[in-house]
C-alpha cells in the first residue's frame, strides 16, 4: 500500500505493470527519501538506492511471486 501511495505522488493513474524502469527508479528513490522530497531533487541528486533496486529487479520480482 505504501508503494502504491508513493507511485501516486508522481504517477497517479499509472498501473504498476505499465511503469517504465525510469518511473520505478523514481518511486524507489522516493521510498528511500520520503514522500515529501522534491521530485527535481530526486531526479537531479539520486542517492543510488534506486540503482541498486533496478540492478536487482529480477531477484526482487522473483521474491515477490
Render pLDDT for 2-61 as a digit per residue (tens, 0 to 9). Answer: 999 999 999 999 998 899 999 999 999 999 999 999 999 999 999 999 999 999 999 988
**What pLDDT score does 49 carry?**
94
Rounded to whole angstroms, how far apart are CA atoms 53 and 25? 8
Rounded to whole angstroms, how far apart are CA atoms 39 and 10? 8
**What pLDDT score does 33 carry?**
95
| Residue 64 pLDDT exceeds 80 | no
**What pLDDT score does 60 carry?**
87
Q: What is the mean pLDDT of the chain?
A: 93
Provide the domain limits for residue 6: 2-64
Tally the domains of the chain: 1
Residue 20's closest CA among 9, 7, 1, 33? 7
- The total number of residues shown for the chain amounts to 65
Amino acid at each position: 500500500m505504501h508503494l502504491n501511495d508513493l507511485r501516486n505522488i508522481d504517477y497517479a493513474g499509472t498501473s504498476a505493470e505499465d511503469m517504465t524502469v525510469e518511473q520505478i527508479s523514481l518511486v524507489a528513490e522516493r521510498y528511500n527519501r520520503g514522500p515529501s522530497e522534491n521530485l527535481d531533487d530526486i531526479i537531479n541528486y539520486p542517492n543510488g538506492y534506486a540503482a541498486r533496486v533496478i540492478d536487482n529487479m529480477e531477484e526482487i520480482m522473483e521474491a515477490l511471486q
